[in-house]
Structure formats: structure tokens, C-alpha cells
Structure 1
Amino acid sequence: MLLAAILALGLPALAAPAGAADTPAAPQPQAAARKVGYFTQWSIYDRNYFVKNLDTSGAAGQLTHLNYAFGNLNAGGKCFQVNQAGEGDAWADYQRRFTAEQTVNGTADAYDQPLAGNLNQLKQLKAKHPGLKVYISFGGWTWSKNFHAAAATPESRAAHVKSCIDMWIRGNLPKIGEPQGGDGVAAGVFDGVDLDWEWPASEGGPGNVVDPADKQNYTALLQEWRTQLDDVGQELGKAYDISAFLPADPKKIEAGYEMPKVFDLLTFGTIQGYDLHGAYDPTTNHQSAIFSPDGDPSPEKWSIDQTVKAWRAAGAPNDKLVLGVPFYGRGWTGVPNQNNGLFQSSTGPAPARYEAGFEDYKVLKAKAGSFTLHRDEKAGFAWLYDGTTFWTFDDAAEITRKVEYLKQQGLGGAMVWSMDGDTPEGELMTAIHNALG
């Protein structure tokens, strides 16, 4: 049944959707379910979202894992640092000096301290929240193209992993026009790595190489990471983890991942539960429905349940599958006033604060008074519509619904892209925490 109401966020938890019966229930997840969040390197600019905000919102005390996005690879597949638009931001990573108001510990950074920037703030956050694990995430949509070179040969794999361990695990940062940097200055910041290769042996962002050999090379790359992390862990007296961001599309799963070998090497994998549709499609649709909605005109009929079933059928263990949820919405404009805007044509992406067709949850909430909220409680998704502009998004009620689904399926937790989309009070993260425990 479709419900429409004037937006009232922070609704109570809703019952499981009727379609939940379509998927057999699995054992409940372990009590220590993972709560994983991505903190983006660039959030400290236009969004004015700092590592400190993870603490003041309460999120740092609720998360089990925090992924710092992203580290880049050069054309040879090695980790590197640079201050160059589109290539790297050493300034944000470890050079920017934050004011006392911007730091976790309330002390202003000194001009010449060896480590500043986001990495120093992550170090302060870990000191305040010692149970929080922090991973460095490599790649992402924009920076995945050089994974192909990194994974191509035994020699390239070894060189890739060594370069990344030297920089991000051992903390050896180059000095680039600022006092910050030096051997070991960032040691101890990271507890593991997150590989966000989008996608091995499948199309992804511009320049991504599509090579069928990368299905096997991806496994070999994970094995090289496991071997070298075990070696450095034995040296340093610490166990290091490996996670990976994994696709929603069953065809990409088949093309790029040797199963179940991949999960033998991963601590856990986060699966894409969002961006199933967006303004890159001409027709309005959901971006994160649990089940494929009635009347969906798209040929693929994307849904979270479809993705979970595909990974499970491939041999992924339930407790290592972590479901990704969005703290943002995707929107279209020029949408005819039919069917409350759902499954309609559009003239393009909706205007937005940071990127056309993409809006943070906190921004959508602030401007939602002129919209009407609609829900498909059977499929499990929500949208806003004002007669011409359509936003598909998750509020606290839909986030709670997704957590109830993943618990029913026995999955290993929830992942967030990305933490800067939440309200200052951490409304959506609190919904995850309360529902997941």
C-alpha cells in the first residue's frame, strides 16, 4: 500500500514489509553486528563536516568501523600523495591545521606539527573512542581505474600492497610543500584497509579497464594484501583487517569475483544498497528499495533483496555481508504530476546544493516542507514529490526498515555512505544504532 503524508521525520519503526515473506528468514546476526560509516576526505570543505562532528553527533560512539575515503593509486598501481585536483589532497589528509573549534580534543593544531589534517583528527577520535576501528579505503568510483594495473602481475600486486602499507599503515608520509610528513608520523591511525574497486572485470567510472582476467587477479590481490598485512601485523603485534565494497548488480558479481574464495580473504564485505536508480536514468524510480516495487518499468528490477540473494547464492556467508544504506537522496525535475511522480519521465537531475541530482539527507529534511512524503511499504522505500521535483531518499523510518530486514536475513551489519549526510544530531545513525543494537 502506498501512503502519503506531509513529511514528519523521525517516525517510529515500521513493521517489516509484506514482501519480506518472499525471502526465507535466516538466523539472527551476532550481537556485535558491524556499524560501518564512510567519512569522506572532502567533507571538510563545502559541507564543513569534520571528524569532530562524528564525536559531537554521537556517531563515533555508535560506529564499530569508520572508513576514510579515499586513497588514490598512480598509473603503476601504487599508493601516492599529491596536492592536485582530481588526483589527491595531501592538504586534507595530513597538512591542514585545524582550529581549536574544529578539533576532536579542542586544541588548535600547531603550524609545524608532524601530523595534521584529517589523519590527526582520526587519531584523536580513536583516542577518545578506543573501540572504534578505522580503515583506509582505496579507489571509489573516480579512483578505481588503476586497480587493474595494481592487480595485473605478482610483481605489481606486491609493489602495490607494499607502497600502501608503507604510506597508510606504517604512516610514512611525504613532505609536500608543508612541514607535515615524515617516517612513521601516521603510524597507528589505521586498523585495516577497504578496497573499493568499482568494478573488477566490469564497467565503472571513466577510464576503468574491463579485463576478464581481473576476476582472478582480484582474488590474487586480496591474497597479497592478506599476506603482507599478516607479516606487518606480526612485526607490530597487531591484527589488520580487510574489507571491500561490493556491487549490487548480479552480472558484476559473476564477472568480477571468485566466490567463495573472496570471502575467505575478507574480514567482511559491504554491499551496495543504494544508487540502484538516479538521475542518470531518464525515468524516476527508487534508489534503495528492499524489494522490487510493483510497476517498476526498468528491465533489471533492481532491489536490495535481489543483491543479497545474488551474493548468498554465490557463496557469501551471511555474517560477512554488511548492507550499505544511503544518507542522501537522488532526484529528478520536470516530472509530470502522475502517480505521485513515481516511474515518470523527467527533464533532468533536480537542482541541489552540492551536485545536481544528489542531496544530503540533512538538506532534504530542511527543505521538505514544500514536498509531500510518499512510501511504498511493500517494497520498502520513500520519496518526496512537489508536483515537479522528485527525490528518492531514506529517512529514519526507512533506515529502520532496512535494519529490520538485514537482521531478519542474518546479515553482518549496516554500512553508511556517507556520514556527512546526516543531521548534526546524528538522526539516521541513531536509527541504525537503535535498531541494530
Structure 2
Amino acid sequence: MFHRRRPPHAPARRTSLRTLLTALGAALLLPLAMLTALAAPAHAAGTLTATFTTQDNGSWWKGTYVVHNSGPAAVSGWSLEFDLPAGVSVTGHYNGDATVSGRHVSVKNAFYNATVPAGGSTEPYSYWFIANGPIGAPTGCTVNGDKCDGSPDVPPTAPGAPRATAVTAHSVALSWAAAQGGDHAVASYEVLSGSATVATATTTSATVTGLTPATGYTFTVRAKDTRGNAGPASAPLTVRTVDPASDPTPPTTPGSLRATGTTSSSVGLAWDKSSDNVAVAAYDVYRGGALVRTVGADTTTATVDGLSPATAYTFTVKARDTADNASPASNAVTATTDDVAGAGKQLKVGYFAQWGIYGRQYFVKNLDTSGAAAKLDVVNYAFENLDPANLTCQAGVTKGVSANPQDPDEGTGAGDADADYARPMSADQSVDGVADDGWGKLRGNLNQLKKLKAKYPKLKVVVSLGGWTYSKFFSDAAATAASREKFVKSCVDVWIKGDLPVYNGAGGPGTAAGIFDGIDIDWEWPGSEGHPGNHYGAQDKANLTALLAEFRKQLDALGGAHRLLTAFTPADPAKISAGWDLSRIFDSLDYANVQGYDFHGAGSDNSWEPKRTGDGSNLYADAQDPYPFHFSVEDAVKVYLDAGANPRKLTVGFPFYGRGWQGVTDGGAAGEWQDANGAAPGQFDTEAGVRGYNNLITSFPAMTVRHDEQSVSTYGYTGPGGQWWTFDDAWSIGKKTAWIKSKGLLGGFVWEMSGDTPDGRLMTALNDGLK
């Protein structure tokens, strides 16, 4: 039975990419080898300075910055920023990678002058530019953020004296006049009580909470600039919190609470104002029994965000006066958030296999040229691994998997930083036709995904963690509250904030920021057997629920646009029961990608179902199915719906590949459910029994293709004693997408995009069916 032996993501795909990577020519690998000597940026702040000189060459002049290191250790990595004098234009840059915006110039070191030795400088390879216009020194020069002349930063001025704008029994609201920036702009303010920071703000107001009633407090405010320099404190303000005994009367109940609008992650609310014998101080918004928002007394609207799509929420509002007396709760109002796709629309998700750039020669560019990118809503970039020692999100390593799919350590510590962000893509492999320069901080697939998103602004990209080969340590990472928090933080730091480890000159803090719009969890499988050697136990079910909640919490805490949190979930009812609490996981998930393929198959090691053929992605259970277990898309989805899952949180999987057997007898059924003699030869030597759709139809142009109307399945047979393949084509995709729409499901997803024809025949069928 497949679901206990082999998942939809065959490990041999990773093995083949390592073999092919080794075979790549030296011309491709040479730029990477040259970069291995570069160390991670670890400069000591304040040890670098920069001096500027000019040289008049008649019709143009030369400006040169020499970077000096006065410290006791070498500095690896430097950057310059400066403003050109008025009337000066620059026509060329040397020994540095420069960006010009108006008069402002930003320069990064070249790969060969990145290291500034202790007591040395960048000579003889210092950055210089060709300029036209009046000769003069630039202004505002910084090197690695410090002033080029080595003088200390001038901090912001003191803000104006704070004043109390609202005082209650437990809080004081303050405002103040803005501070003036010194060498750098003001970024934030700190409110101090004595020497303790009691509130922070990015504007000129803040509320200090958690105070003791009827107690005097003295506050000052100071500004901090973008580099963290703190200015002097303001004049002090002394204020006394309200004595509750002075006002025992609560405000009146807020009236007519109503929902004013929804998105997939928020609900807007409005209500009629309350009155009070002294004054209303604030309104508190509750979701169920939990306080989720507080707004001021002059505001009778609020937006509650951080919500899950396609989910009903109930809200109430209470007014609160200055003595912190709370009114009775308003009427309750229930609102349902929108789903991710939008009313009347279906979501289309496609997995892009990281290693497809090798044997498959399928690049991010092919998503564009095939027409798929214009049809997809979300691209899942698969897969990234877990660090086996630290139990964190792993990046920055290139280590292949073993060639044995039964090896318990097949994927332990494996990864492909080259494919992710270090491999320079050529012009003909690039989305925009521009080759990677070989020393940029972001190259490879991630740079191409960045370019693809620029071309298709509505396209979302999420990073998929785990998969069949990389799920070994999920159980350990999810085991405790502390391990979950650590693991999730590492994933957010690496994949959402983009803090890639430095590898072969690529990576560094923030280099991948903005590429990924969320995280996809492909844990195969919590609570039950997956790949040989995977860690699992009965505790996984509760721990997975808690892990998803921690992901949702940390993703929402980032602020800004809503980040997607999705999961690949099984079709096998036993695996669902063992690992997936369907009553709780959708509180965190935006949607689940429900497995709709690999119901039957023969793996490359013939350990799965080598002796009998079987449908791999049938919509309905086949009446002729002789197996003791019967899988179908309909039966898989029914488990989720019967458990109360919102259908608009479910997508169904479509295979863009086929699974095959050889030595297949006819039995009067054209090979369906008949005896076989193992997996058929695959598209790649290490992947017996698997061929991408395009490879399948071009390898067997004379294959007889049949469509089973009863089960809605497609299969092909090459004749008695030959090969039998189960796969999806435009016919079955059309039938299944019609069923998805009839059930009100969210949409469909694809494993994986490289199997399609160059002109995107299957993706077109999926898109047409889900319109």
C-alpha cells in the first residue's frame, strides 16, 4: 500500500540531480570555486574609514575612495554610500558594484577586493568612478554605515516634553513634539520611567500600560535613529493614575455592533458610541473571550486582522472609562473571512522542484514560457530541509542524498544551496534574459523567482519544508514549546526575512527578503511511518497542531501583508487520523493541499506494489479494484469534509507524471488491475516507474490511451506483456476540476510543474477547468 511505503515525492529525484551536478562543466563551476574563499561578513563596526581623492582628466574627472582598516583583524565585506555634488553625473564604476539613484550612490565591494586586511586598505583595487561636471568631494559618505572620516555619529535631539492625553487607573497616554535627526533619521522613541523603558513607538505618541491605580509616575522620552543611536531625554512629566474609588459607574453598552467588511485575514467592525458620567477612555474588542484590539474613545471602528481564511469569528465590544470600569458587552456579531482565492474563484497551486534544473532542464523561466505562471496563483518551491543537529530550518549547504531510497539517513543534512541561490543562471536560463554575474549575493532559483514575481505581481511563492526525504526530524523540532518556537523563528529568519547563510559568495542578511510569501509544511507523516528512519510517535498529532499555531503566530507578528501558511496532507484515512487534528489545524492553515495521486504505484526499489497495476489518481473508487483498500479523490476529500473542514480550505492534487509497470498481462482489461513484473523503466535511471507526462507521451506515441468513465481515470497500455501507465490527461483533469467546483472546494494543485508539455497542455486544462 503506497501510503505506508512511498509518498508522492520520490527521493530518487534528489539523487539524480547530484549526479548531474557533478557532470557540469568546469566553465560553470569556476566562478563558484573562485568565490569559496570569501568569508561571511563579520566586520567590526568603526574600524573602517574611507578617504576620497580626485584626478582631473580634462573632459572628465576621476573620483576614488580608498577604504582603510585600522582594526586588529581583517574585515570581509564593505559598502559605501555617498551623495554626489550638484551638477555631477557618473558614467562608469570600477572595482565595485554601484547603484545610482539621483545623486545618491551605493557601492558594494567586488568579489576580489572584499577583504580589507588589518592595518591595510583596498589598494591597489579601490573603488573609483568617472564623473562629468564640477570637481568636488561627495557628501554624507559612510562605509559599512559608519562615517567615512571615523568621527562618531551625531544622535537625534531631545523630543519635546511629553504631555498626558489620557489617564486611566492603569494607563497613561502620552504625546510629544518630534525630535530632530542628527546624522541619521529618527526611527523610534522610547518612553522611560526612571531608567526603565516602559513603552516604545515609531510615532510621537505612546500608551504606558500595566500601571498601579492612584499612583504618581514620572516619564521622559528619548529618540533613537536608524543606527540605534539614542539622543538625550526630554523634559520630564509627572502624572498620577486615576483612583477607581472616585468613579464606580461604568459606561453604557456600545450599540449596534456590525461587520463592515472582510478580507481573507481580517474583519472590519463598527459600533455606536457609549457614554459615561466622567469620560469613556477606550473600547475593547473581543473575539470570543479574548481581547484582540483596543481603540481610543474617539474611535468607534476597528479592524481585527491575523485571522484565518474561510473561518467564522464572533466579536463583541466593551467600553471602558478612566477608572477602568468596563461596560456590559455589546451584541455579538459573527463574520466569516473570505477564502484565499476570492468569491467564485478557484486557486491554482504548482510545485516547482528545486532539482528540476538538472536532469529535467526545467527552470523557473519555463513557468513563464509555458504560460503556467500566468495561470498559477501560488508556486510552492520544494523542498528545504531541517538541520539534524540544531532542529532549525537548514540552508546554505550542498550535500546530496544517498542513492538508496531505503537508507534511513538518505536525506539527513542534505540540501542544495547551489540550486537555491548560488548557481549563476545563464541568459537563456533567466526569466528576463539577463545572466547572473557570478558574484551577486542572490543567484540561482531564488533570484529567478524574484524576477518571475516582478513579471507577475499577483503570483505568490511559498517555500515548502520537508517532503518525503526531508521529513525525518519534524517530530523532534515540534516536540516542545521551546523547540517549536526555535524552529519556527529560524524558518522565518531564513525564508521570510531572507537571512540566507553566506555560501560561495552569495547570501547574507536580507538577501532573499520578499521572495517568499509564506511557508508550506510537507511533513510526511506525523504520527505514522513515512520514509525509512523518520522519527514519529503518537505525540505528533498534538505537536503538529501546536507547531502550526506557532508558525501562524510568528508569521502574523511580522506585520504587513498576510503570509500564507499551508500544508500537504494525506489521502489515507489512517494517516489523517494519526497525525492531523482536522478540528484544529485549520485555525492556523490558510488551506491544505490534499493528496490526490500515488494511490497505487511501483517504486524504483520495487518495494511498493510491483506485482499488480492500479490507478494512481482516480476521482471515484473503481468497482473493479481488487486491492483490499480502495483509494480515490472523492474518498480522500470526504474524510476532511465529514470532519467539518471548510471546503474552501481544501485543494486537490493533480499529478503531472505517470506511474508504470512492465510485464503486464491483459486479462481482458487492457492491463488495468492486472499482474505485472515490477516497475517500468522510468524517465531517469534512478526513478523506475515514474515519467513526466510529456516524457511519457513522447516516449510511447503508439500507446493505447483509455478513459475509465466510472472511476474517472486515464491509463495507457503498450500491449500484452508490455508496459501499463496510470496518469492524468486533459480529459481526466476536466472531469476532476468540474467535480472540485461542484463540491465548492478551493481549487487544485500540481506535483510537479516540470512534467507538463513545453506549451503547458496540462496546466491549460487545469486552468480552463477551474475558471
Aligned to 2:500, what secondary structure does the other structure show? coil
Q: Which residue matches 2:756?
A: 422
Aligned pairs (5 A) from 1:18-417:
30-75=343-388, 76-81=390-395, 82-86=397-401, 87-176=414-503, 178-232=504-558, 234=559, 237-279=560-602, 280-281=608-609, 282-338=611-667, 339-354=669-684, 355-387=687-719, 388-417=722-751
Distance 1:244 1:62 in 2: 21
Q: How many Å apart are 1:74 and its aligned residue?
A: 1.4
1:97–1:110 CA contact under 8 A, matched in 2? yes
Deviations 1:260-314 (A, max 9, x none): 2101110000000000000121210100001111210111111111101111112
1:67–1:194 CA contact under 8 A, matched in 2? yes
Distance 2:510 2:551 in 1: 20
Q: How many Å apart are 1:406 and its aligned residue?
A: 0.7
Distance 2:550 2:572 in 1: 26
Q: Which sits farther off after the overlay, 335-344 or 128-137? A: 335-344
1:29–1:411 CA contact under 8 A, matched in 2? no
Q: Which residue matches 1:433?
A: 767
1:29–1:319 CA contact under 8 A, matched in 2? no
Distance 1:274 1:145 in 2: 22
Q: Which sits farther off after the overlay, 360-369 or 182-191? A: 360-369
1:329–1:360 CA contact under 8 A, matched in 2? yes
Q: How many Å apart are 1:370 and its aligned residue?
A: 2.5
Distance 1:254 1:316 in 2: 14
Aligned to 1:370, what secondary structure does the other structure show? coil
Distance 2:391 2:571 in 1: 25
Deviations 1:220-259 (A, max 9, x none): 0001001111112x2xx22211000000001111111112
1:274–1:287 CA contact under 8 A, matched in 2? yes
**1:241–1:29 distance in 2 versus 1, CA, 3 Å:** closer
1:50–1:102 CA contact under 8 A, matched in 2? yes
Distance 2:435 2:448 in 1: 11
Q: Which residue matches 2:106?
A: none
Instruction: Give the letter aligned to residue 43 of structure 1.
Output: G
Identity %: 50
Distance 2:689 2:361 in 1: 21
1:29–1:412 CA contact under 8 A, matched in 2? no
Q: How many Å apart are 1:210 and its aligned residue?
A: 2.5
| Structure 2: 5+ residue stretches without partners | 1-340, 402-413, 603-607
Q: Which residue matches 1:3?
A: none
Deviations 1:374-399 (A, max 9, x none): 12111100111012110001111111
Q: How many Å apart are 1:29 and its aligned residue?
A: 8.9
State TM-score, norm by structure 2.
0.52
- How many correspondences in the alignment? 406
Aligned to 2:701, what secondary structure does the other structure show? helix
Distance 1:296 1:30 in 2: 38
Deviations 1:204-226 (A, max 9, x none): 11222230110000000001001
Instruction: Give the letter aligned to residue 491 of structure 2.
Output: C
2:476–2:535 CA contact under 8 A, matched in 1? no
Instruction: Give the letter aligned to residue 434 of structure 1.
Output: D
2:385–2:393 CA contact under 8 A, matched in 1? yes
Distance 2:382 2:345 in 1: 24
Aligned to 1:107, what secondary structure does the other structure show? coil
| Structure 1: 5+ residue stretches without partners | 1-27
1:29–1:407 CA contact under 8 A, matched in 2? no
Distance 1:157 1:142 in 2: 21
Instruction: Give the letter aligned to residue 501 of structure 2.
Output: P
Q: How many Å apart are 1:420 and its aligned residue?
A: 0.4
Give the structure with the higher percent helix.
1
Instruction: Give the letter aligned to residue 378 of structure 1.
Output: Q
Aligned to 2:556, what secondary structure does the other structure show? helix
Instruction: Give the letter aligned to residue 95 of structure 1.
Output: A
Distance 2:582 2:670 in 1: 41
Distance 1:257 1:343 in 2: 31
State TM-score, norm by structure 1.
0.91
Q: How many Å apart are 1:33 and its aligned residue?
A: 1.1
Instruction: Give the letter aligned to residue 724 of structure 2.
Output: F
Deviations 1:10-47 (A, max 9, x none): xxxxxxxxxxxxxxxxxx99423110000000000001
Give the structure with the higher percent strand.
2
Q: How many Å apart are 1:367 and its aligned residue?
A: 2.3
Q: How many Å apart are 1:179 and its aligned residue?
A: 1.3
- Relative contact order (C-alpha < 8 Å, sep 6+): which is higher? 1
Deviations 1:308-338 (A, max 9, x none): 1111112211000000110000000011122
**1:29–1:350 distance in 2 versus 1, CA, 3 Å:** farther
Instruction: Give the letter aligned to residue 158 of structure 1.
Output: E
Distance 1:219 1:262 in 2: 6
Compute the RMSD of aligned alpha carbons: 1.2
2:626–2:673 CA contact under 8 A, matched in 1? yes
Distance 1:414 1:271 in 2: 9
Distance 2:538 2:650 in 1: 24
Aligned to 1:181, what secondary structure does the other structure show? strand
1:134–1:192 CA contact under 8 A, matched in 2? yes
Aligned to 1:54, what secondary structure does the other structure show? helix
Aligned to 1:285, what secondary structure does the other structure show? coil
Greater Rg over alpha carbons, structure:
2
Distance 2:467 2:711 in 1: 28
Instruction: Give the letter aligned to residue 347 of structure 1.
Output: N
1:29–1:410 CA contact under 8 A, matched in 2? no
